[in-house]
Amino acid sequence: MISDSQKWMILISSSLLLLLIYLLAPVLTPFIMAAFLAYLGDPLVDRLEAYKLSRTLAVSIVFSIIFLVLILVLVLLMPMLESQLSYLFKSLPAHLTWVQQELLPSLAARFNLNPEAFNLDAMRESISQQWSAGGSIVLKVFQSISNSSIAIMLWLANLVLVPVVTFYLLRDWDLLVARIHELLPRSKEPVIKKLAMESDLVLAAFLRGQFMVMIVLGIVYSVGLKIVGLELALLIGMTAGLVSFVPYLGFIVGIVTACVAMLLQMQDIMQLWPIFIVFGIGQALEGMLLTPLLVGDKIGLHPVAVIFAVLAGGQLFGFVGILLALPVAAIIAVMLRHLHQQYLTSSLYDANPNVNHKSE
């Protein structure tokens, strides 16, 4: 049993750790991203080591592959996304004009609404002024960064820190795990090891499996929407894929935004059927193939718990909290399942089992 002094020590240590994360949240982002990449790459490094490669050589190969893929994605996707965002802002005033002059009067006549209640002139003028004063969205981002020398230094430091920290974490991952294992109390080591292995299964299912599901769904939605002729196919498709870590959220966000974009683009409600087909195919692939194959049933997080974890993490710790929310929630779910099992076998749950047996 844990003594009262040990309980107080654990409580104080946990409180100090949370306070430290809160205070250092702006600095922790590159380290969390590096740890995420290292966690994704460690199984590949272990497999290469099984083929008699040295740890350093295996890490160098996996490290090069990870960052080559990231660089290729940025080089290929960023110009396309920037082009689609430019198209969106340029065409939005014209779309709003059609909505106010054609769509809203039709809806107002059908549902007996006051058409003057829907006035989009101010919104349309604001968008036009913002776009005419701007230019390239990527250029705007760099201009906003360049306005502060401190922001430039932080941005460059993060850019350099992520690959450096990723390399060293990959190289020393097994050593770090062994060192942590050595520090475990010997009396609690079997239980902690069991919980750590279960947490690793859950995290692997989410961070590796769900991440792959998100990417594949983003590609499927983007290609499908491009085939049916949607101009904003890449932007909407990748957004729907990236938010699909919450069950059905990617589907809902994607199909709603795609239908609105197609209706504004084609101005024909019959053109929405191909959108439904694309997202129906995506949902079928996710439910019957991608999730069973890449994730399985190891996560065990209810969709409401996922939404709450992300919102709570963002509220408490900002962007760092969003990054940590689901891994921490997955570990907490493992701990709660363990406590649930402990409770079912405790005297508190069944204080006098003999009475029950006699009454039966």
Least confident of 81-95, 208-222, 335-349: 81-95
Whether pLDDT at 61 is above 90: yes
With tokens 């983007």, the residue in question is: 222
Percent of the chain topping pLDDT 70: 80
In this structure, the answer to whether residues 178 and 213 fall within a common structural domain is no
Spatial separation of the C-alpha atoms in residues 239 and 257, rounded to whole Å = 10
Residue 11 lies in a domain: no
Cα→Cα distances 37→20, 105, 137, 164, 217, Å: 23, 52, 28, 11, 20
**Helices 189-203 and 303-344 meet at what angle, rounded to 10?**
160
In this structure, the answer to whether residues 293 and 304 fall within a common structural domain is no
pLDDT at 226: 93
Spatial separation of the C-alpha atoms in residues 356 and 360, rounded to whole Å = 6
- Of 183, 211, 240, the residue at which a domain comes to its end is 183
Give the pLDDT mean for 176-181: 87
CB 210 within 8 Å of CB 290: no
Query: Could you count the other beta carbons within 10 Å of the beta carbon of residue 265?
Result: 15
Q: What distance lies between CA 113 and its chain's CA centroid?
A: 40
- Of 260, 282, 297, the residue at which a domain comes to its end is 297
Q: How many domains does the chain have?
A: 3
Give the pLDDT mean for 295-319: 76
- Of 134, 154, 183, the residue at which a domain comes to its end is 183
In this structure, the answer to whether residues 144 and 212 fall within a common structural domain is no
Q: How confident is the model at residue 2 (pLDDT cuts 50, 70, 90)?
A: low
Q: How confident is the model at residue 276 (pLDDT cuts 50, 70, 90)?
A: very high
CB 267 within 8 Å of CB 98: yes
Radius of gyration of the chain (CA): 26
Angle at alpha carbon of residue 24, lines to 20 and 28, rounded to 5°:
115
CA-based torsion, 186, 188, 189, 190: positive or negative: positive
In this structure, the answer to whether residues 38 and 166 fall within a common structural domain is yes
In this structure, the answer to whether residues 132 and 201 fall within a common structural domain is no
Residue 19 lies in a domain: no
Residue 6 lies in a domain: no
In this structure, the answer to whether residues 214 and 159 fall within a common structural domain is no
Q: How confident is the model at residue 256 (pLDDT cuts 50, 70, 90)?
A: very high
Residue 16 lies in a domain: no
pLDDT at 258: 93
CB 203 within 8 Å of CB 284: no
Residue 357 lies in a domain: no
Residue 111 lies in a domain: yes
In this structure, the answer to whether residues 57 and 101 fall within a common structural domain is yes
In this structure, the answer to whether residues 150 and 205 fall within a common structural domain is no
Spatial separation of the C-alpha atoms in residues 113 and 129, rounded to whole Å = 30
Least confident of 17-26, 130-139, 329-338: 130-139
In this structure, the answer to whether residues 98 and 228 fall within a common structural domain is no
Residue 113 lies in a domain: yes
Q: How confident is the model at residue 360 (pLDDT cuts 50, 70, 90)?
A: very low
Least confident of 61-70, 241-250, 296-305, 321-330: 296-305
pLDDT at 357: 46
Give the pLDDT mean for 79-100: 77
In this structure, the answer to whether residues 175 and 47 fall within a common structural domain is yes
In this structure, the answer to whether residues 151 and 65 fall within a common structural domain is yes
Q: What distance lies between CA 47 and its chain's CA centroid?
A: 27
In this structure, the answer to whether residues 310 and 283 fall within a common structural domain is no
Range of the domain at 89: 24-183
Residue 219 lies in a domain: yes
Spatial separation of the C-alpha atoms in residues 233 and 82, rounded to whole Å = 13
Closest CA to 317 of 29, 37, 36, 30: 29
**pLDDT 10s digits, 282-296:** 999 988 888 787 776
Q: How confident is the model at residue 29 (pLDDT cuts 50, 70, 90)?
A: confident
